[in-house]
Amino acid sequence: MLRHRRVEFGNDAKRAVHDLCCEGGVGAIERCPLKLDVERRRSPCIVMQDAMKDVSRKSASGRYHGRKLARLLDRGTLIGERAHRVIRFIRGVETPGGSERIRTMSALVLVADPDPFNLRLLHEACEAAGYDVITAADGPEVLAMIARQPPDLLVLDAKMSEIDAFEILRILKADATLDHIPVLLVGDEADHESRRRGIELGAEDTLTRPYRVFDIQQRVRNVLRATRRDRLGIPGNAPPADQRDPVTGAGTPSQLLISIDYEHTRATRYGHPLTCMVVRLNNAEEIAAAHDASSADPVMASIGAGLKRCIRAVDHLFRLRRDEFCILLPETDGTGAGYVLRRLRGQVESGELWGRPIDPRPAVDISVTSMPDTSVKSGDDLLKKTRHSLPRPE
């Protein structure tokens, strides 16, 4: 069957695979261009066929429905692991060989170094990691490029000419419109004084020569990840992406960042609606103090369980902060979000959301943002707009 140009799936499976293949949604399930090399990023439908090869051989008709497909994608099976590798590749998280790369929504990195050899090495290392890279060879050029297009990260050599690195740091940190740009300061391994001064002036991290490509890419990745978390108000001690929140069983902030990027990209590409909700427990400290506890985790666990009862199986629940949940509602416009919002507010008023008497009574606020929305350009924008819509604590 796999040698033919058409592959038949049931409608549910066809839709599910099409969603998973959003980065290459070229009618991939219906159309099957053959003989495309993996290294040339071959069509997602070919790659997905390879992942489903063993399963397809077991069926004369080749028809699989959505529920069966979900079981096939279980990570505990060989075919599941292979399919998830395909999914990660299609989404831009893995290369065909399996090594990690940055998602297709790549960050812009400005690399500044007066030495042409080092500049080229840093440029190639960042570009190989999947980032968009621009370069500068002296201090004035750095400031000119930042004024033209502020980067997501500045990789700055400590020995810049004309305007030195420390003056550049002072200029950036003194400007309220530029102080958010993270700086990775580069210096010689023996130059401890430069690294100390850089950190004191606001550099997020340092990188030492001689370079190792892995170190360059890992430092850049860590600084960008930490900066994004700070910008979105996500605590640094959140569980990693491969774990659930131990108290509520909800997804973690790391999982939220991955999911909101994917859902926003999918909604934008196909013109589908998407809703983000944030639920905040405003009196968490008061509840914890009343029960002589260090946190309101038991109440958050009860609220989390209530939220799960109010949303669909296809919706996503995450614990964003100690006192906040985030809910992503795919395929849900403002009207549908209004139904969910009224249901949640009704359960807050009745106390059904947490399901037991709690004193003092939980004070819960809910905010909603639905797409399409012209002011939302990214997953980060969607989350920030929703969080900022919450009433400010008194």
Q: What is the pLDDT of residue 252?
A: 87
Number of folded domains that form the chain: 3
Q: What is the pLDDT of residue 295?
A: 84
- Do 381 and 269 sit in the same domain of this protein? yes
Name the pLDDT band for 393 (thresholds 50, 70, 90): low
Q: Is residue 125 part of a domain?
A: yes
Q: What is the pLDDT of residue 236?
A: 57
Q: Using one digit for the tens of pLDDT, what is the confidence trace for 60-80?
A: 333 433 444 444 444 444 445
Mean pLDDT value across residues 365-388: 92
pTM: 0.54
Mean pLDDT value across residues 302-309: 92
Per DSSP, the three-state class of 126 is: helix
- Torsion angle of the four alpha carbons 263, 264, 268, 274, in this order, in degrees rounded to the nearest 10: 70
- Do 201 and 261 sit in the same domain of this protein? no
CATH number at residue 297: 3.30.70.270
- Do 282 and 355 sit in the same domain of this protein? yes
Q: Is residue 95 part of a domain?
A: no
Q: What is the pLDDT of residue 155?
A: 95
* Chain centroid offset of residue 231 CA: 13
- Do 184 and 261 sit in the same domain of this protein? no
- Do 258 and 220 sit in the same domain of this protein? no
* Chain centroid offset of residue 202 CA: 25
- Do 205 and 260 sit in the same domain of this protein? no
Q: Is residue 98 part of a domain?
A: no
Tokens of 291: 């029960």
Q: Using one digit for the tens of pLDDT, what is the confidence trace for 99-118?
A: 333 333 468 999 999 999 99
Q: Is residue 102 part of a domain?
A: no
Name the pLDDT band for 35 (thresholds 50, 70, 90): very low
The residues facing 326 across adjacent strands are 278, 318
What value does the mean pLDDT of the chain take?
A: 76
Contacts of 39 (CB under 8 A, 6+ apart): 96
- Do 135 and 174 sit in the same domain of this protein? yes
Minimum mean pLDDT range among 67-76, 123-132, 246-255, 339-348: 67-76
- From 90, 124, 155, the end of a domain falls on 90
The residues facing 94 across adjacent strands are 100
Q: Using one digit for the tens of pLDDT, what is the confidence trace for 127-145?
A: 888 888 999 999 999 999 9
What percent of the chain shows pLDDT beyond 70? 70
Distance CA 180, CA 182 (A): 6
Q: Using one digit for the tens of pLDDT, what is the confidence trace for 186-199?
A: 988 888 888 889 98
Question: Which of 296, 124, 129 is CA-nearest to residue 223?
Answer: 129
Mean pLDDT value across residues 190-214: 88
Distance CA 41, CA 59 (A): 28
More confident residue, 5 or 18: 18
Q: Is residue 164 part of a domain?
A: yes
Q: Which domain holds residue 195?
A: 108-232
Name the pLDDT band for 11 (thresholds 50, 70, 90): very low
Q: What is the pLDDT of residue 99?
A: 39
- Do 126 and 226 sit in the same domain of this protein? yes
